[in-house]
Every structure is written in C-alpha cells, then in structure tokens.
C-alpha cells in the first residue's frame, strides 16, 4: 500500500504521543508547522523533496522576520517551526522508502545565526501600563451576563497573573474569596509544566477584586457549582431559548484573546495579549515590593520558584526606564556621604543579599562579594 503524506504525519503524531510522551498542545503545534511546510512545498510527496524546496521554505519563513506586513513572524516562531520540521524529517528518514531524505537535505532547514540570536534574546513583548489594563476593563460593556464575564476575565488576569490556559480551565472551587487565593490544581487545570500551586491575588485595587467577586457571586446565583468553570462559554442559541443553565468550558484560549482584542479597540490603547499582563505585574513588583522577601513572594505568586526566572524573563526594562534608573544611581553616587560598595554589601540585609546573588547568577559574574 502506498504511503501518503497524511500517513507519515499520522505516524509522527503517534510517535510524539506514545514514544516521546508529548502533550496534546505541543503535538498540535508541531503538526501545524509540518502542515504549513507541506503546503509551502506544493503538497508534493515527502519522498520527492528537493534541496531547492527546503531552502525556499526556510527563506520564505525568514523573509517574514520583523516584517512590517501583517503576516510577519517572530524569530521564536520561525526557529520553532524549522525545528519541528527538522524533527519530522529526521524521523521520516529512518523509515523505509525515505532514503532520499539525507542529512545534507535536512540541514538546509538550519535557521540563520541572526534568527537564532533574536529568538533566544530578551523578549520585547509589549507590557502595558496598569492604566491601559484598567482602561480595557472599563471600556468593555457590562449590560449582559456574558459582557460582565468578559470584563471579569481581564480583571482576573491582572488580579491573579494567571496564564490564559489556566483562566480557561479554572473551576469556581479553585477561588478562595476570603483568603484572596487561587488554587491551580494541575489535575484539572492546564498549568505550565503540570505544576500545582497556590497563588495570591496581587494588590491591584479593590475595584478590580470587586469585579471578580461580583462575577463569581452572579455565576453561583445562576446555579453554577464548585465543579463548574470560573468563566463558562455562552450557551448556544437553542439552549439559551430553553432557559436551561449550562456551564461549559471554553475549548481553546482564543475567546480569551478575543476579549483582550475587543477591549483594546474600545479603550483605544495598543493591543496586548493575556500573557503580557504578567510582564506588567513584574514591573509592579519592582515598584511595590520593598524587600527581597516581598519580591520572592511576588515571584512565587507568578508561579516562579526561582526569583531569577522573574528577573530574566519578565523583568526587562524599556530603554527610557533604564535611562531614568541609571540617572538616579548617578545622582546618588555623587552624594559625598554615600557608602562605598563594599560597605553597602557588608551592611546589607539577608533579603538584599539574596537579590544580589540572583543578579550575579543572571550575569554569570565571578564576583563573590564575600558570600
């Protein structure tokens, strides 16, 4: 029986799931990249792939890097796509009938050095000021129950710092209003790396807390129970007409993203995705936390065991803020009464020493500071 491209992709899907134990979300992303590759090479049989086809595919991806066009791609997306296709072709090359897929052919997918550097460099994700997030929340209408749900979704994102996948799968029982906590139970909640954790609400305002609390109370007043979704999808028209209250989970995070898109348009602020809110919360940590211990607590509520993770992936400052901070340091050092560095370290609290250690680890410094 003739093996088709569809058969090859199906076999690869099974290999990823059964032999490599990849999760469904990862598998879907990899298969999407492989299907894009198939379309880019004209849907020819994979056994007929040529060097020219592969090079054209790679160059077409990289030509969209940092493009001003709507179909531009990030360096990270390009590297991941090329990596997923490489993994697929490497597996395919070991199968009978695919001996024409050589190592030299596969190596044509290797991304340019600059693309790799950009992909692994600091993220330039837009992190909106808190004022923009609040503008989005209050720009969203709140006349219907589903409009109030949407407004509560954005409020909960900044209140909890939860990822969109978590917001989609949380149940009402996971929210403790009295103690202001969220229990992210990996058994039923789609957490990163299947990690279970208890996180606290961030101090972003009592009005934001009230929007979330009011939504939970309204949801329960309609008959929602502990096991029902925190943010259910709207029922279809037939069920809505029947008056039957049903509470179903969203199947993807796209409706959550759509709420943020709509809110940004209504508030007339730059669009930011749900994950960008976590960057905003990190910058609020720098503003509000007054000790290393408070920073550690804030970091753990973002789901980071290591404070260095928060600094490295979420703590990047824009150039204007860097300039302002360096200027403040310069003014402070011009004070003749200042302590020198060694004296400051000698008198530092344990919390401040922890911060210094984290910064040194990130910078791979060889300076021990006597620690």
Q: Where are the domains of the chain?
A: 5-120, 130-278, 279-363
Fold for the domain defined by 5-120: DNA polymerase; domain 1 (1.10.150)
Angle at 164 between CA 162 and CA 166, to 5 degrees: 60
Handedness of CA 138, 143, 147, 149 (dihedral sign): positive
- Rounded CA separation 94/98 (Å): 7
pLDDT of res. 368: 44
Each residue's pLDDT expressed in tens, for the chain with a length of 371 residues? 346 899 999 999 998 888 777 778 788 889 999 999 999 999 999 999 999 999 999 999 888 886 555 667 888 889 889 999 999 999 999 998 898 899 999 999 999 888 887 776 554 457 899 999 999 999 999 999 999 999 999 999 999 999 999 999 999 999 999 999 999 999 999 998 888 999 899 999 999 999 999 999 999 999 999 999 999 998 865 444 555 667 999 999 999 999 999 999 999 998 898 999 998 998 888 888 877 778 888 888 888 776 666 665 565 555 565 556 556 655 665 554 444 545 555 555 666 656 655 555 554 444 444 44
3-state secondary structure string across the chain: CCCCHHHHHHHHHHHHHHHCCCCHHHHHHHHHHHHHHHHHCCCCCHHHCCHHHHHHHHHHHHCCECCCCCCCECHHHHHHHHHHHHHHHHHHCCCCCCCCCCHHHHHHHCCCHHHHHHHHCCCCCCCCCHHHHHHHHHHCCCCCHHHHHHHHHHHHHHHHCCCHHHHHHCEHHHEECCCCEEEECCCCCCCHHHCCEEEECCCCCHHHHHHHHHHHHHHHHCCCCCCCECCCECCCHHHHHHCCCCCECCCCCHHHHHHHHHHHHHHCCCCCCCCHHHHHHHHHHHHHCCCHHHHHHHHHHCCCCCHHHHHHHHCCCCHHHHHHHHHHHHHHHCCCCCCCHHHHHHCCCHHHHHHHHHHHHHHCCCCCCCC
- Rounded CA separation 277/130 (Å): 9
Tokens 């009978």 found at? 96
- Rounded CA separation 109/51 (Å): 10
Q: Fold identical between 5-120 and 130-278?
A: no
Q: What are phi and psi of 314, to 5 degrees?
A: -125, -10
Instruction: Determine the CATH number of domain 130-278.
Output: 1.10.443.10
348 alpha-carbon distance from chain centroid = 35
pLDDT of res. 51: 92
pLDDT of res. 260: 93
Partnered with residue 176 across adjacent β-strands are: 181
pLDDT of res. 22: 78
Partnered with residue 281 across adjacent β-strands are: none
pLDDT of res. 21: 76
pLDDT of res. 285: 86
């Amino acid at each position: 029986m003739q093996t088709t491209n569809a058969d090859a992709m199906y076999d690869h899907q099974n290999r990823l799931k059964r032999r490599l134990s990849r999760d469904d979300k990862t598998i879907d992303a990899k298969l999407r990249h492989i299907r894009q590759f198939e379309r880019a090479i004209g849907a020819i049989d994979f056994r007929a792939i040529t060097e020219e086809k592969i090079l054209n595919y790679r160059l077409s991806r990289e030509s969209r890097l940092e493009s001003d066009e709507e179909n531009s791609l990030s360096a990270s997306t390009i590297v991941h796509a090329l990596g997923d296709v490489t993994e697929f072709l490497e597996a395919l090359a070991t199968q009978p009938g695919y001996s024409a897929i050589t190592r030299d052919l596969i190596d044509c997918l290797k991304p340019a050095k600059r693309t790799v550097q950009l992909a692994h460099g600091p993220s330039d994700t837009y992190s909106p000021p808190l004022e923009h997030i609040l503008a989005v929340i209050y720009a969203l209408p709140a006349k219907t129950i589903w409009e109030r749900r949407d407004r509560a979704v954005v409020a909960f994102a900044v209140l909890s710092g939860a990822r969109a996948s978590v917001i989609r799968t949380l149940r009402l029982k996971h929210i403790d209003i009295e103690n202001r906590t969220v229990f992210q139970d990996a058994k039923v909640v789609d957490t990163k790396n299947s990690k279970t954790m208890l996180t606290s609400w961030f101090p972003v305002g009592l009005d934001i807390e009230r929007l979330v609390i009011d939504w939970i109370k309204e949801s329960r007043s309609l008959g929602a129970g502990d096991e029902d979704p925190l943010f259910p999808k709207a029922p279809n028209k037939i069920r809505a007409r029947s008056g039957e209250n049903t509470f179903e989970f969203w199947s993807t995070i796209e409706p959550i993203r759509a709420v943020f898109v709509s809110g940004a348009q209504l508030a007339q602020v730059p669009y930011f995705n749900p994950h960008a809110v976590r960057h905003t919360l990190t910058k609020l940590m720098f503003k509000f936390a007054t000790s290393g211990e408070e920073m550690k607590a804030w970091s753990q509520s973002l789901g980071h065991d290591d404070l260095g993770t928060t600094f490295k992936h979420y703590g990047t400052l824009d150039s204007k803020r860097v300039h302002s901070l360096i200027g403040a340091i310069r003014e402070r050092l011009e004070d003749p009464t200042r302590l020198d560095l060694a004296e400051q370290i000698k008198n530092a609290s344990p919390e401040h020493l922890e911060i210094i250690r984290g910064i040194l680890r990130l910078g791979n410094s060889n300076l021990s500071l006597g620690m």
